Amino acid sequence: MSRRTTIGRQIAWGYATCMAALVLVTVIATLSLQDVAGTKDRVIEQRFPLVAGAHQLEAAAAAKSTAARGHMLTGEESYLARVGELDAQFEQLLAGLRTGTAEAQGAAERLASVDAADDAWDEVLAEVTARRDGERDLAQVAAEFERDVAPAYESLQSSLSTLVNEEERLIAADMQESGSHHRDALIVLWGLSLLTLVWVCAMAAWLIRRIRQRLSHVALQLGAASQEILAGVRQQVSGAAEQAAAVQQTVATVDELVQTAEQAVDRARTVTTRAQESVSVAGLGTRAVEDTGAGMEELRAQVHGISERITETARQAQSIGEVVATVDGIAAETHILALNATIEAARAGEHGRGFTVVAQEVKNLAAQSRAATNRVAAILGEIEQGSTSAVMATEEGTRGTDAVAELVARAGASIRDLSEVIASAAVAAEQIAASSRQQAAATRQISEAMRNVDIVMEQNVAAARQSEQTVQELDDAARRLQELVGVPVGGIAAG
């Protein structure tokens, strides 16, 4: 039978063959029983009525002989009438036997022999009865009765005995034949039953072996597939868990970067305010130089005020330098964080492409911030040098009035230069503030993107764990199937 045949069809085929064997046994047993029953029916319907009828004929003949003897001895007509009644009864019984046993083997010949013997007896009996009616001597009539009638009666009795003996012999033969048929039927029935049982057992063993082989093959394939899938899913769960942990760490880092960017924005705003104040101070210095003609005292006073303001400007420039140093440090940290974010985005794969773009933008902003801070540092250095020169000039102006004009000119030039430097510093501070705002916005976008990535990774981990549970259930089902069909279990241990 083909391996592609379904298990249901194999079971149905085996069941059909067993049912066919059972039907065959039933048919043979039925035919044997019918043969035995036919033999017994023949005995009951034909042979037994013949034996019973023969005994009835014997009784009628004996009664007829008794009545005839009574008539011989007494001469009474009642005995003669009784002889006639019994003779009619005998003929009626004989006719009934002929009709009821017409199909019995040899019965007709034996009944004909009985009929002939009865006719001969009746003929002799009639002759003796006629002689008795002639009132002859009773002793002579009795002697004639014994001489003529008795042999005819014995011949009838012999025919009846032959009929009974033959029928009893035939009954015994039929019963023996019936018993032989019964034994043969039992032997055939038991033999066929044993063969059917052997066939059914062999068919059941064959079906069990076939089904076990197919189920074993399926169980082994299912177990191997479930183990491979389970190993792959567990590896996927482990990788997803590691990615989720890395993403959560990146989210924490980006949150810190957001806070740092917000602090940089606040400091950039402070630098911008200080730069604008420095521009105002430089404008006042310029107007003071233009009003030098008001007098030396006024000049000295203004120079003294300028000296104080320049000193204050130097201190503010130092504050600006500190802020610029802070911004430069923030830009360096931002550059490092951008590199880390790029690495984490590369590890995130497809989900980190958008985050890679944002990280690159943060890296560019950090580079711009560092360039701007370097430029501001250079400007602040020039401001510091200018402030030092202005202080020295004012000190020299206070020590002598001869060089007032030159000092005023030099102070005006220095103040103009300082105004330009401070204006440049204000522009740079504004650019730093704008860059810091862009950096803060980009960092918030990075934080939002990383949070979305974290949510996706958590969903992936949950889905992977659900897949792991499903595959574990599949592996358990494969194990139960292997135990059911008797295959050694060799699956992966449950984790």
Give the pLDDT of residue 236.
Answer: 76
292 has a pLDDT exceeding 60: no
Distance of alpha carbon 347 from alpha carbon 364, whole angstroms: 21
Average pLDDT over residues 142-147: 75
> pTM for the whole thing?
0.33
Of 399, 322, 418, 327, give the one whose Cα is nearest residue 370: 327
**Same structural domain for residues 138 and 262?**
no
| Residue 46 belongs to a domain | yes
Concatenate the DSSP letters of all residues of 78-124 into one string.
HHHHHHHHHHHHHHHHHHHHHHHTTTSTTHHHHHHHHHHHHHHHHHH
Residues 6 or more apart from 320 whose CB is under 8 A from it?
271, 274, 275, 376, 380, 425, 429
| Local structure of residue 401 (DSSP, 8 states) | S
Residues 458, 240 contacting (CB under 8 angstroms): no
Give me the mean pLDDT over the 351-362 stretch.
73
Q: Are residues 213 and 353 in the same domain?
A: no
3-class state of residue 3 by DSSP: coil
pLDDT reported for residue 278: 66
Residue 208 sits in the same domain as residue 257: no
Q: What is the pLDDT of residue 493?
A: 39
Q: What is the mean pLDDT of residues 307-315?
A: 74
Q: Please check whether residue 1 lies inside any domain of the structure.
A: no
Q: Which residue has the higher pLDDT, 268 or 362?
A: 362
Whole-Å CA distances, 329 to 21, 315, 336, 410, 439: 98, 21, 11, 37, 14
> Residue 480 — pLDDT band, cuts 50, 70, 90?
confident
Residue 495, domain member (yes or no): no
Q: Verify that 247 and 158 share a domain, yes or no.
A: no
Q: Tell me what the mean pLDDT of segment 372-392 comes to.
A: 76
Supply the DSSP symbol for 494.
Answer: P
351 with 210, same domain: the answer is: no
Strand segments, DSSP code E, in 424-493 are none
Looking at 28-32, 226-230, 333-337, which range is the least confident one? 28-32
CATH of the domain at 28: 1.20.120.1730
Task: Write down the residue that tokens 């897949």 correspond to.
Answer: 467
| Residue 83 to residue 65: CA distance in whole angstroms | 8
Beta carbons of 426 and 276 less than 8 angstroms apart: yes
| Mean pLDDT in residue range 402-416 | 65
Q: Is pLDDT larger for residue 117 or for residue 42?
A: 117
pLDDT at 454: 75
pLDDT of residue 428: 66
Mean pLDDT of 302-310: 71
Among 253-262, 335-344, 412-421, name the most confident range. Answer: 335-344
Q: Which of 42, 55, 53 is nearest to 171 (CA)?
A: 42
What pLDDT does residue 485 have?
62
pLDDT of residue 103: 60
Structure token pair of residue 37:
């029953």
Residue 36 has pLDDT above 60, yes or no: no
**Residue type at position 475:** D
Domain end marker among 170, 193, 221: 221
183 and 269 both lie in a single domain: no
pLDDT in tens, 317-331: 677 777 777 877 887
Same structural domain for residues 211 and 270? no
Of 194, 221, 248, the position where a domain reaches its end is 221
The pLDDT tens digits for 180-190 are: 777 877 888 78
> Looking at the structure, do residues 363 and 457 belong to the same domain, yes or no?
yes
Region 264-284: mean pLDDT is: 70
Instruction: Residue 281: name the closest of 309, 321, 317 by CA.
Output: 309
Beta carbons of 118 and 90 less than 8 angstroms apart:
yes
CATH number at residue 350: 1.10.287
Of the pLDDT bands very low, low, confident and very high (cuts 50, 70, 90), residue 425 is low
> Is residue 233 domain-resident?
no
Per-residue confidence band for 491, with pLDDT thresholds at 50, 70 and 90? very low
Residue 383 located in a structural domain: yes
| Whether 24 and 148 share a structural domain | yes
DSSP 305-327: HHHHHHHHHHHHHHHHHHHHHHH
The pLDDT of residue 29 = 66
Looking at 41-50, 142-151, 266-275, which range is the least confident one?
Answer: 41-50
Instruction: Please check whether residues 11 and 90 belong to one and the same domain.
Output: yes
- Is 203 a member of any domain? yes
- Is 229 within 8 Å of 474 (Cβ atoms)? yes
The enclosing H or E element of 252 equals: helix 150-290
**Can you read off the two tokens belonging to residue 329?**
């440090």
- Answer for the pair 131, 141: CB distance below 8 angstroms, yes or no: yes
Per-chain mean pLDDT for the chain: 74
* CA dihedral for 416, 418, 423, 424, sign (positive or negative): positive
Residue 333: per-residue pLDDT: 81
More confident residue, 119 or 178: 119
Say yes or no to pLDDT of 174 above 80.
no
- pLDDT of amino acid 228: 80
Residues of the domain holding 429: 239-485
Q: How confident is the model at residue 57 (pLDDT cuts 50, 70, 90)?
A: confident
Q: Is 490 helix (H, G, I), strand (E, B) or coil?
A: coil
Residues 216 and 244 placed together within one structural domain of the fold:
no
- The total number of structural domains in the chain stands at 2
Domain match, 194 and 262 both = no
Q: With bands split at pLDDT 50, 70 and 90, how would you rate the model's confidence at 484?
A: low
Which pLDDT does position 495 carry in this prediction?
39
How far is Cα 84 from Cα 78, in angstroms, rounded to an integer? 10
Instruction: Please determine, for residue 2, whether its predicted confidence score (pLDDT) is greater than 60.
Output: no
Within a domain: 197:
yes
pLDDT per residue as tens digits for the range 85-142: 988 888 888 888 877 665 666 777 888 888 898 888 888 888 877 776 665 566 776 6
- Contact present, 345 and 352 (Cβ < 8 Å): yes
137 assigned to some structural domain: yes
